[in-house]
Structure 1
Amino acid sequence: MSTPTQHRPDFAQGFSFLGHTDQGGRPDGCQVMVDRGFAYVAHAFSGGFSVIDVRDPRQPVLTGFVPAPPGTWSVHLQTADDLLLVVNAKDLFQDAAFTREDDYYGRSVGDAALRAERGYAAGLRVFDIATPGSPREIAFLPVEGVGLHRLWYTGGRWAYASALLDGYSDYIFVTIDLADPTRPELVGRWALPGMHQAGGESPTWDDTRWRYGLHHAIVHGDTAYASWRDGGLTLLDVADRSAPRLISARNWSDPFGGGTHTALPLPGRDLLVVADEGIADHAADGVKHTWVFDIRNPANPTSISTFPQPAEDDFVAKGGHFGPHNLHENRPGSFQSETLVFATYQNAGLRAYDLTDPYRPELVAGWVPPAPARMVDTRPGRPQVIQSFDVLVDAEGVAYMTDYNAGLYVLQYEG
């Protein structure tokens, strides 16, 4: 299928265009899940999530929108076992304390975020999606604090989240019991030493320069692979979900600029792929990397290579953020591979990497959307360039890619 002129990519190799939607006039997209022919897209600025019929990926159709409570973010979500889990947290982009990007990315956010009155919902919303595309709320788990940021849930009893709770300097790791999905319960927590202010701890890092806070963890078996932004990487033993314990920790934020965002285990090969997020325009925080770790000894994760950087354009000069953001996370039922990794690279679009030789990763495909037709990002001074956010690839190699302003792109991987 030819690409319509308005969606003609700036670069295309190994992907073909299938479809696009502006999500009913809400083109801001964060995390995307696809479940039985319906895409659930969280929003950064539109306050809620959208439901899109993608049974024909060439003609995505908006079928619903579920608003978040006033003042509330619903930026991440997960689907499994006929459930849709949606985070609720204070919308920090509406907070005057976070009008500049560096206010959000460049320091611990707990104190500033909690100073304001609590006109927002904080916790986890649970929806029944036994009827595909028709979410029905069945539970809400409230937490005291800013709320939840990102989740990991692939079915069964346990979900995992990053949570900014009262008494902590930033987001920490928590476990959630869904034995009864109508009565979710927060049962376990783990934080980096120095984060538990209410427990008398104080940071051992410069918290005016570095942001130590959990983005999220991916859990395989009894191990949680957790990314702590400027606090680096931890492997946690979660065999006892009520009491996670540390296996190992690594932090390369100095000299490499921090922003550790996603840690994807490739358990059949004892490898871990770790993406550091670019968090400043024109790579002012340094050009970030996606790292490959050997984790044969979980107590000693060892970096063995980095992904090659997209180089068909000068992405640093292009403006906006350049560098890794999210990885396709090999969820059950989706495209699963331990040699092919899909990643969004913000102003460099979507990328696919071949890890057949983990010491020499190869860039094998890329697709860079055109500039967004309009800006819905409410933050002042944001450049009108693509900022590809999240990607989910289904079992047939169809990639669903979101953007802060440009809607949902549906692409076919041709490799």
Structure 2
Amino acid sequence: MPQVSRRRHLQQLSGVLGAAALSGWPGPAVSAEAEIPPEGIGKGIKHISYSDIGGRPDSVQVMFNRQHVYVGHMFSDGVTILDASDPRALKPVNFFTAGQYTRTHHLQVADDLLLLANGANIVAMQSYDNMRGYFENTLVDSITKAKKFRCGLSIHDISKPGEMREIAFLEMPGFGINRLWWPGGRYAYVSAHFDGFTDHILCVVDLKTITKPEIVAKWWLPGMNRAAGEAATPKGKRFALHHMITAGDRGYAAWRDGGFTIHDISDPANPKLLSHINWSPPFAGGTHTPLPLPKRQLAIVADEANAEKCAKGLFHTFVLDVRAPENPVPIATLPTPRDRDFCASGTFGPHNLHENRPGSFQSEETIFATYNNAGVRVFDIKDAFAPKEIAYWVPPVPKKLVDPRPNIGLAAKTCDAYVRPDGLMFVSDWNAGMHVLQYQG
């Protein structure tokens, strides 16, 4: 092999394998302790405003509809609605709750309807001494405290801005829903736990009659149906559907430590497995968000960082070639932020990706990602083999810790980002409310 070609090949392979996760971490440009101002530190991203979400700063998934933002909470058992007509001054206008111990942290909005995950407030029902307990044990084995909660899918009319009028509820006996995907249309793809299973599985819900949703399919990885006597998940690993995202007649699903699957969903009531790939081991797992880029026949797949101070090494976001859906191939990783020593405090690494929803910013070349204490990162993937970071925003350290779990560091935990077509971003944080940012690219 010619020397130049060989060098390029090795560079590409190094990116794919994420060698920096194992060794060779270069010295950071700035220490983690260097002060960050309240508006954060950005390159190519401008800070517009901040909201503590009406005193409930524990924010997760964000949706936008009719100049209002809908925010699911991690610990506060509800959804806050904010008037975002003036992005410089978000105004809380309503709060919905399904009751104490019912977590409603994930939601989907389309066609003036909101689909809401209802399930157990897991954090309130566990007894681990650190956050890794949640990520390294099957869901049913992690619940230690019995509480009453509502479990299933609720559907809300949001045609009147600032209001959530429940019009249907589909019960799902178990510990509830983690995330769901519904960009509009007849079918919703839900990550839900059902009695008898070890953790969240795929559940397809038919919304033909919106007030009478119906479960039409379930699919899971082998070993998850404990009631049927299937072989157990490896100890210390968590096989669970985080969520599926669809594109056309394909479904792309992330299974935490169980890897990544592609499905034929031309018949949604009968999803068929096309392929299953798992890079854990050697990587740490936590596969979280599968973002298909159908025109380019690529998928961006983020592994969720789930340990403080890089205790499990670095987590990565992979670029996959999915031209042959029966044989997806990792071809690169998004570059790891190195502008600070992010491993020195809190959780560092990928959490979620902006999901190219209808009505939002959509691109198959510009990827928006959240990176916990490293904030928001924007990547150019025009060359899928050589992604590069083109903008970032690092958040300030929160004034106080909201996360009630023990042994959690006081650090930013940038969670989700919803990006409008004009580049305005609504960015949530488990501990620190919501920042409104403007992408200037």
Normalising by the residue count of structure 2, what TM-score does the alignment of the two structures yield?
0.90
- Find the partner of 2:425 among 396, 399, 407: 399
Deviates more, 1:35-44 or 1:177-186: 177-186
Equivalent pair of 1:397/1:413 in contact (CA under 8 Å): yes
**CA–CA separation in structure 2 for the residues paired with 1:108 and 1:37:** 39
Provide the residue aligned with 1:298 in structure 2: 325
Give distance in 1, aligned partners of 2:53 and 2:126.
Answer: 28
Measured after TM superposition, the shift of residue 232 of structure 1 is: 0.4
Q: CA deviation at 1:111?
A: 3.6
Match of 1:7 in 2: 38
What secondary structure is seen at the aligned counterpart in 2 of 1:104? helix
Q: 1:146 aligns with which of 151, 168, 175?
A: 175
Deviation at 1:110, TM superposition (A): 2.0
Letter in 2 for 1:139: A
Report how many residues are paired.
Answer: 406
Amino acid at match of 1:278: A
Question: Helix, strand or coil for the counterpart of 1:198?
Answer: helix
Q: Structure 1 residue aligned with 2:288, among 255, 258, 261?
A: 261
- The AA in structure 1 aligned to 2:97 is P
Q: Which residue, out of 327, 330, 339, partners 1:312?
A: 339
Q: Secondary structure of the equivalent of 1:303?
A: strand
SS at 1:281 equivalent? coil
Aligned-partner residue type, residue 163 of structure 2 = S
Shift of 1:239: 1.7
Separation of aligned partners in 1, 2:141 and 2:409:
29
Matched-pair contact (CA < 8 Å) for 1:92–1:98: no
Aligned to 1:413: 439
Percent of aligned pairs sharing the same letter: 46
Larger Rg: 2
Runs of 5+ in structure 2 lacking a partner? Answer: 1-35
Aligned with 1:371 (options 397, 416, 422)? 397
| Post-superposition offset of 1:275 | 0.3
Secondary structure at 2:282 match in 1: helix
Write the distance in 2 (CA, Å) between the matches of 1:60 and 1:222.
Answer: 38
CA shift at 1:68, angstroms? 2.7
Partner Cα separation in structure 1 for residue 286 and residue 128 of structure 2:
17
What residue is the counterpart of 1:322 in the other structure?
A: 348
Partner residue in 1 for 2:97:
67
Distance in 2 (CA, whole Å) between partners of 1:96 and 1:214 is 20
Q: CA deviation at 1:128?
A: 0.2
Q: Distance in 2 between matches of 1:163 and 1:322?
A: 27
Conservation of the 8 A alpha-carbon contact between 1:123 and 1:148 = yes
In structure 2, the partner of 1:88 is 118
Cα drift, residue 247 of structure 1:
0.4
Gaps of 5+ in 1: none
Shift of 1:19: 1.3
> Could you tell me how far apart the structure 2 residues matched to 1:62 and 1:112 are?
34
The separation in 2 between residues aligned to 1:399 and 1:8, in whole angstroms, is: 14
Asked if 1:344 is matched to 2:370, the reply is yes
Offset from partner CA, 1:196-234 (integer Å, 9 cap, x none): 11122112x41x211010100101111110000000000
Give TM-score scaled by structure 1 length: 0.95
Deviation of residue 13 (structure 1)?
A: 0.3
Instruction: For residues 6-46 of structure 1, give each alpha carbon's deviation from its aligned partner in whole angstroms, at most 9, with x where no partner exists.
Output: 6231x310100111110001111000001121000000111
